[in-house]
Chains A and B, each alone.
Chain A
């Protein structure tokens, strides 16, 4: 199984709502990532988890709160978002190795619209 699944596929939320994005993989990968991608732009790294611990936060606003409950799951909790946060949110996973980077496997993304 080389699949990363993300739910929901689409999400529309108001600026006062609280919602969560979910990501799951069963490849035994111990690194998981969140990216944000605006239309016609490259993915931008947001967070990296390594062995269920947050290792990289790319200065993301606190209205985005990541969580890694176990080695297979990654959540992104959303609260008080702004319309400019509307984007495709991508989850990825990879093996961890200190000697070389491993390929990332990406999910299909969650298309988020903030109204």
Chain B
């Protein structure tokens, strides 16, 4: 099974940049790295996906080093509404969610 390691929880304040790092030592050559966000009692929501180097969209940036054994999700200027659980997965045709990081944004 694909296995990722993330911090269990993180605290931040509104307006700060938050970086969540995920370790995926067993990533396969074909695997992509994907991040999802989940609010309580809702389904996960796709944030960003990448294969290598850096990917940026309107919501976040994803940094992947050359060895691809880790990745960092960067959320610029978080707000209270970014309080959620963030999941990292490395996947190709199967989707195994890691334990997730509970981000708590404080005012």
Contacts and interface: CB of A to CB of B under 8 A. Distances in A.
Given A42-B87, A100-B32, A101-B34, A106 B44 contact: yes
Contact of B94 (A4, A56, A91): A56
Interface in B89-105: 91-100
B91 A101 contact: yes
Nearest to B85: A42
Interface residues of B, number: 21
A111 B51 CA distance: 34
A109 B44 contact: no
A49 interface: no
A45 B45 contact: no
A36 to B, nearest CB: 11
Contact of A106 (B34, B45, B51): B45
A103 B95 contact: no
B81 interface: no
For this complex, into which size category does the number of interface residues on chain A fall? 20 to 34
Contact of B100 (A42, A44, A92): A42
Contact of A111 (B34, B41, B100): B41
Given A90-B44, A92-B43, 13 more contacts: A4-B43, A41-B99, A42-B99, A43-B97, A45-B94, A45-B96, A100-B51, A101-B32, A104-B46, A105-B46, A106-B43, A108-B42, A109-B41
Interface of B: 32, 34, 41-46, 49, 51, 87, 91-100
8 contacts: A48-B94, A100-B32, A101-B91, A101-B93, A101-B95, A104-B46, A106-B44, A108-B41
